[in-house]
Structure formats: structure tokens, C-alpha cells
Amino acid sequence: MSTTITEAHVRQFNAMLILVHQQTQALIAPRLDPVNVHRGVVGALDDFDLIGSFLAHDITDRHGDTVPLNPEHSRRWARPYPTDATVYLDREDKVRSLINPQSAYNRIIAASLRRSEDKRLITAMLGTALTGETATGTQVLPTSQLVAIGSSPNDVMTLAKIKSASANLDAGGFDDAPGKRIMLYSPGQKSAILAITQAASSDFTARRIYDSGNINGQEWMGFTWIMVPDVKNQGASGISTLERMLPLTSTTRTCVAFATDSVGLSINQELNSFLDILPGKQHLWQARAVIDMGAVRILDGGVVSIAALEE
């Protein structure tokens, strides 16, 4: 079997997939502080070094001794993991469809990798961070960073919960400039958000969210609001849930407010794609793409978990 004929297909597939991957929107990574996005990482772990805050020393006597400062140094670690997306194609016409710029295969492969990146970041924000000089320590999100579910009717996403998250980030001294604070919510919180008078009424805001029917992508209460839907399979057999993006336990959804400089992303390897013939599979085509990445919560005070009823 001659394999050289596939070279044109391989190059075109790679180019098209990379292009689609770049155009397919990741929800979270583009919002992070660029300083905290490490590319070309080598090794099983990637460190993020932190220096604590301190006050300058007042000079109260002439010719006195210099007083050195002793800022606290700490370290957080991200552990990158490879993630892949693979599709089998069993006829030549499928390959010709695959390398078309508008190919559905290109879109689903690229989108799946972007969603994996978003999920990795959400898990890192809410999960256990590796700490210490050699990544032997752990740090969970402190209870001070949790906004509880509450009881009905205050179990939904309320203005009080949003204000609490905002005040929490204020207390940590995080930048409140536009785009510096992000609120991740699911479609199950949309109804409650639209019911908040201060969000929907022109008496309080010029955002006019009822014109678009959504707050997604808008600035309100100091946050850029980003809706993160679950991954659904829209197949012929109906709709099924493949992955919960924001955690859902029973009827309680965990939403996340975070400062853009409080989370780190480590990328060992950018998108790498393959298009191969598999002789052991009746010479079908395998389209596969891989990306290697990890994430970590760098600053605990910059992440707030908000429990809300899923409507």
C-alpha cells in the first residue's frame, strides 16, 4: 500500500484543524492574565512562584540601621496532562469532507479540545492545588471562599450572593477594572439572574439585558459574565449530557467568580494533529488531535465558589 499519496491530505488536515482550533472560542483561557499562561512547558510539573504582600518600613531615626523586609515566598504547581480527540472515517469521500475548511469533523475535534481546556481550568479553580518547594503539599479552596446555597427563595443566584463574591475579591485587593473579574455561570442560573431587578431594570443599569435575553459576555456588578453550558450530545436518539462543566450535585450548581490573575495555565504542547491510515482497521482513516496542558489555582483569595439552585 502506498502511503505517500496521503501527504497532501495530512498537511491540509493539519492546517485546517489548527485554523479551526484557533477560531473556536475557548471561554476561560483568553480571560487569564497573560503572565500566568505558560507555553512551551517542559517537564511533568510547572511552577508558579508567589511573593507575599508587605508594607514598606518607615524611617524614624537618622543614621539608623537598615531594616530588611522578609516577604513570604510560596509556590503552586500545575500538572499538565495530554488530551486527545480521535475520529474514525471509513470512506474516501469522508476524508475529502474532513479536509474541507468548513468540515464538521474539524469543528467537533477543535471544540472538544477547547472544552477540555475550559474544564481543566474550572477543576483547578475549585480543586486541590499542589504547593511547596517540591509539590508535596496541598491546598484546598478555603471555606472563606465559599458562598453557601441558602434556603428558598434565596437558594438561587441572588444579588446578595453576587455582592458577597465581589466583596470577597475586594477584601483580597484584586483589581476591579473591567475584564479583571469573571463570573462563570450555567444556563440553569439564567432565569434567576434575569429576575434580579438591579440586573434587568434600566433604573439600575444601562446593560438592557432583556434586549438580548442574556447577560452572557456583558459587564455587570464588576464581573464579566460568561455562561458555561454542559456538554450535550445532540444525537438522533435525543439529547444526553456528556460532561458537567460547572459542578452539579443533585440540584445545586457551583458557579465560580475569579480574578484573572489568580489562575495559571501551563501548556506543554500546543495542538498537534495526525491523519493516518490504519491497516488493522480495514484501512480506515484516523483523524486525531492532541494537546498537553494543566492548570492551577495560584491565589486562593482570587477564587470564589458560589452554590446556587439549578433551575
CATH number of the domain bearing residue 131:
3.90.1690
Q: Is 283 exposed, middle or buried (0-12, 13-18, 19+ CB in 10 A)?
A: exposed
Residue 64 lies inside a defined structural domain of this protein: no
pLDDT tens, residue by residue, 4-36: 445 555 566 666 666 565 556 789 999 999 999
pLDDT tens, residue by residue, 285-310: 787 888 899 999 999 999 999 999 99
The per-residue pLDDT for 79 is 94
Say whether pLDDT at 203 is over 60: no
The per-residue pLDDT for 238 is 80
- The amino acid occupying position 3 is T
Residue 231 lies inside a defined structural domain of this protein: yes
pLDDT tens, residue by residue, 227-264: 999 988 777 778 888 889 999 999 999 999 999 999 99
Check residue 129 and report its DSSP letter: E
| Domain boundaries, position 173 | 4-51+74-309
The per-residue pLDDT for 92 is 60
Specify the residue for cell string 477540555.
Answer: 116
The pairing of beta strand 284-297 with beta strand 263-278: antiparallel
Longest dimension (CA), the chain: 87
Three-state SS at 180: coil
Most confident of the ranges 40-44, 113-117, 262-266 = 262-266
The pairing of beta strand 284-297 with beta strand 303-309: unpaired
User: Are 39 and 294 within 8 A, CB to CB?
Assistant: no
The per-residue pLDDT for 44 is 92
Confidence of residue 89 (pLDDT cuts 50, 70, 90): confident
CA distance 39 to 268: 6
Residue 58 lies inside a defined structural domain of this protein: no
The per-residue pLDDT for 95 is 63
Say whether pLDDT at 101 is over 60: no
| Cell numbers for 242 | 456528556
Residue 61 lies inside a defined structural domain of this protein: no
- Considering its fold, how many domains does the chain have in total? 1
Residue 101 lies inside a defined structural domain of this protein: yes
Average pLDDT over residues 209-218: 80
Say whether pLDDT at 282 is over 50: yes
pLDDT tens, residue by residue, 136-159: 999 999 999 999 999 999 999 999
Q: To 10 degrees, what angle do helices 104-126 and 7-23 make?
A: 50
CA distance 171 to 173: 5
Residue 99 lies inside a defined structural domain of this protein: yes
- For 66, phi then psi, to 5°, come to -70, 130
One-letter-per-residue 3-state SS of 58-78 = CCCCCCCCCCCCCCCEEEEEE
Confidence of residue 1 (pLDDT cuts 50, 70, 90): very low
- What percent of the chain has a predicted confidence (pLDDT) above 70? 84
Residue 38 lies inside a defined structural domain of this protein: yes
Check residue 236 and report its DSSP letter: T
| Cell numbers for 138 | 496541598
CA distance 220 to 249: 27
Which phi-psi region, left, alpha or beta, contains residue 264 (left: φ > 0; alpha: ψ -120 to 50)?
beta
CA distance 161 to 73: 32
Average pLDDT over residues 258-280: 88
Residue 42 lies inside a defined structural domain of this protein: yes
CA distance 295 to 37: 9
- Mean pLDDT of the residues in the chain: 85
CA distance 248 to 55: 42
Chain centroid to CA 40: 19
pLDDT tens, residue by residue, 179-197: 999 999 999 999 999 888 7
Residues for the chain: how many in total? Answer: 311
Whether the pTM exceeds 0.95: the reply is no
